[in-house]
Structure 1
Amino acid sequence: MEAMSIDGSERDLEGFAVGVLQSAAPIEAPTPFERRVRWDLRGNTGFIIASTLRSGISLAAARCRWERASGMAVDHAPMMLEFVLSRGPLMRVRSSDGDGYSLGGGTFQIGQVKKPLRLVCEWDESAIGQDQDNLCLAIDGRRLCELLGAKVLPAPLERIVAHTGGYPRAAQSMSPPLYRLLDEILCCDGRGASRQLYLEAKGLELMAAMVDLLEEGERAASPLLSQQDIARLERARKILLGRMVDPPTLPELARHAGLNEVKLKEGFRAVFGAPVFAYLRNHRLDEAHRLLRQRACNVTEVAQRVGYENPSKFAAAFRKRFGVSPSTVG
């Protein structure tokens, strides 16, 4: 599997052409601010456009279709906040920090690469012959504050920026306006100065729509969370992870945290992005992946250390999260 590097520069297109397409595909320049590469190689077709907007937004949009199961490795440099829309068949992504997730299926994801990561992206046979559309806006957090006329970022974005891990992310389903804007940017046929102006306007409109969707989702999920509630939810999270092998029941966890069960369940999902025990399961599997990479224990021992009594259930959960068997890690 060939690797390419992403550092947010125009070199990314050359890297994709050489590293993934294995061909020196010509780089087009529709405007002074935009670069584009197209390919039609052995039935694999697609294009990528990358544009630097005057607003401080970096915009990249792609449409790909593969005629065989494919994959690529990406060496991702630390970057700004990334807002990603993805539609079409699922692409499985595994990162060198042990995380695993999917792109595609009409999802909207926000993240920030905090340290160098290698991402392994794979399409299986179910993706053959289907278009996958991806659009990424990247922007510095301080510049986004300036555009919003605010001193601080909206709470969902502030949590991502404040996170100390390698690739914090949040995800939800795309809204109808996001589908429309994705199509309008991918299908833009303007030229010259009008094209640059169009992409500038659509990039800002898309950024506004994504921030609105984030804030609406947060308000709907947690309309009555006070700072004291958030502190109690953090206490619940620490208790839960501290008892990873023998977790408390929901009533017990709510009692220790000083919350009722309804606020615990709704607040936990709003603040930490997952239901209580889904969050615990992901943490267990992430810890298992770390232990396996360190080769500290065999698979059965790792399963027991993260709270799985049944190695078969552990292996099934591990494969579902990371796309590989635990015995292949390390």
Structure 2
Amino acid sequence: MEYTNEFELGWGAMAEQAGLKINRNGLYTYYEIPDIWENGWIMEVTPAEGLHVASAWFTAKEQIEYTMHIEKPCLWIFCIDQGSLTFTQRGKPARKLCPFTQLYISNGKPLRLSIAAGEPVCFTSLLIFDSWIETFLGANGISYPIRVSDAKHWLPAHVDTPLAMLVMEQLRWGVRGNRLPQLAYLCKAGELLCLFAHALDQARYKRQRRHYVTWENEQKLFRVRELIDKDPLNTPGTEALCQLAEMSESKLRIAFKALYGKPLYAYIREAVMKRAMQLLAYDELSIKNIAARCGYENPAKFTAAFKDVHGITPSAFRKGFGL
């Protein structure tokens, strides 16, 4: 099998195979959707060799199947707004990407990406090659555990954080509106990887042996976390979560905090506020509307919670991106 050329082309490698019309203008590339897709687009910025930042919104009439065979070690980072994207690789179970920030490590084996038909897809992605990471570290004269080989230690809890999502949103609107200079994309990509590594350091520092979680209970807690992330605005009550985890309420709360480093209620609030950040992109929704969707009758309390999680108010977020 021949290698596909994601290193140079990013999403352009798939675009060429799918027959998308490709329009390049300096660092920016716009992929026009062909007739086999209903509508939408993919926009991509390539600020440096081995680094591709993209934002996409489209609906496929038929299921899309694309196999990548990438020779060089790299990381795929996605922030999913909506839609169904599934990665399949030999020797590993198929992985359907959930909402919010997700990481996939490419190890040189063929990697199949499946996108479901008839379902709107919206995401932001970074494709980061190890060679770019080495260049980034060398240019700054530092050494930090953010290489592809280090990423195997990053768990979902280290990747899917409010700070990481804020960076992904900054990149999303930078790509869509050509709002960021070339250097900003380099800095933001480096910042994102450093946030992952720092979250791992913090988790190691905070871990308490007396609250050790068994592998079996980790799998149960993962189901709870996955259910929350799937639709945080409609998270089941504590009783239902306890049934899913097969734990008492006290055991669920203790084990969840031990594994993910934060109380269950705090994790749910963060998930709600991450979804709220995505909803701010919808022009037809006022902040009052979004507050109500998130379960807040009082918009002021919603604003306070949003700022507590993201460090910025909803109105300031919209103003900062011209939304």
TM range (shorter): 0.5 to 0.7
TM-score with structure 1 length normalisation? 0.52
Preserved CA contact (<8 Å) 1:104 1:132: no
Preserved CA contact (<8 Å) 2:41 2:57: yes
Alpha-carbon shift at residue 153 of structure 1 (Å) = 2.4
TM-score with structure 2 length normalisation? 0.53
**Residues 1:157 and 1:109: Cα distance change in structure 2 (over 3 Å):** same
Preserved CA contact (<8 Å) 2:14 2:66: no
Partner of 1:178: 167
Alpha-carbon shift at residue 11 of structure 1 (Å) = 8.3
Alpha-carbon shift at residue 61 of structure 1 (Å) = 0.6
Tell me how far apart the structure 1 counterparts of residues 104 and 10 of structure 2 sit (CA, whole Å). Answer: 23
Preserved CA contact (<8 Å) 1:72 1:122: yes
1:133 and 2:123 correspond: yes
Alpha-carbon shift at residue 72 of structure 1 (Å) = 0.9
Letter in 2 for 1:107: T
Preserved CA contact (<8 Å) 1:50 1:61: yes
Preserved CA contact (<8 Å) 2:21 2:34: no
Query: 193, 198, 202: which is aligned to 2:184?
Result: 202
| Deviation string, structure 1 residues 205-263 (Cα, Å, up to 9, x no partner) | 322431342134213321167xxxxxxxxxxxxxxxxxxxxxxxxxxxxxxxxx9442x
| Deviation string, structure 1 residues 237-296 (Cα, Å, up to 9, x no partner) | xxxxxxxxxxxxxxxxxxxxxx9442x43xxxxxxxxx6237789xxxxxxxxxxxxxxx
**Residues 1:223 and 1:124: Cα distance change in structure 2 (over 3 Å):** farther
Partner of 1:96: 90
Partner of 2:7: 8
**Residues 1:79 and 1:102: Cα distance change in structure 2 (over 3 Å):** farther
Tell me how far apart the structure 1 counterparts of residues 154 and 206 of structure 2 sit (CA, whole Å). Answer: 24
Partner of 1:78: 71
1:9 match: secondary structure: helix
Q: Which has the higher helix share?
A: 2
Preserved CA contact (<8 Å) 1:77 1:116: yes
1:99 match: secondary structure: coil
Aligned length: 212
Partner of 1:277: 216
**Residues 1:186 and 1:98: Cα distance change in structure 2 (over 3 Å):** same
Preserved CA contact (<8 Å) 1:4 1:75: yes
Letter in 2 for 1:39: I
Tell me how far apart the structure 2 counterparts of residues 110 and 138 of structure 1 sit (CA, whole Å). Answer: 11
1:108 and 2:102 correspond: yes
1:41 match: secondary structure: coil
Partner of 1:228: none
Alpha-carbon shift at residue 152 of structure 1 (Å) = 4.4
1:150 and 2:142 correspond: yes
**Residues 1:205 and 1:219: Cα distance change in structure 2 (over 3 Å):** same
Alpha-carbon shift at residue 90 of structure 1 (Å) = 3.0
| Deviation string, structure 1 residues 128-184 (Cα, Å, up to 9, x no partner) | 2x2411311413242232245323424x85433xx6xxxx97533252422431332
Partner of 1:240: none
Alpha-carbon shift at residue 100 of structure 1 (Å) = 2.3
| Deviation string, structure 1 residues 69-99 (Cα, Å, up to 9, x no partner) | 5221212212243251222223122112323
Preserved CA contact (<8 Å) 2:84 2:121: no
**Residues 1:170 and 1:110: Cα distance change in structure 2 (over 3 Å):** farther
Letter in 1 for 2:24: A
Alpha-carbon shift at residue 59 of structure 1 (Å) = 1.4
Tell me how far apart the structure 1 counterparts of residues 28 and 108 of structure 2 sit (CA, whole Å). Answer: 27
1:159 and 2:150 correspond: yes
Preserved CA contact (<8 Å) 2:60 2:117: no
Tell me how far apart the structure 2 counterparts of residues 260 and 170 of structure 1 sit (CA, whole Å). Answer: 19
Preserved CA contact (<8 Å) 1:10 1:50: no
Tell me how far apart the structure 1 counterparts of residues 8 and 148 of structure 2 sit (CA, whole Å). Answer: 23
Partner of 2:267: none
Preserved CA contact (<8 Å) 1:86 1:134: yes
2:102 match: secondary structure: strand
2:96 match: secondary structure: strand
Partner of 2:199: 217
Alpha-carbon shift at residue 42 of structure 1 (Å) = 4.8
2:22 match: secondary structure: coil
Give percent identity, aligned residues only.
7
Partner of 1:19: 17
Letter in 2 for 1:213: L
Partner of 2:41: 47
Letter in 1 for 2:51: S
Cα-Cα RMSD: 3.6
| Structure 1: unaligned runs, 5 residues or longer | 191-197, 226-258, 266-274, 282-330
| Structure 2: unaligned runs, 5 residues or longer | 221-323
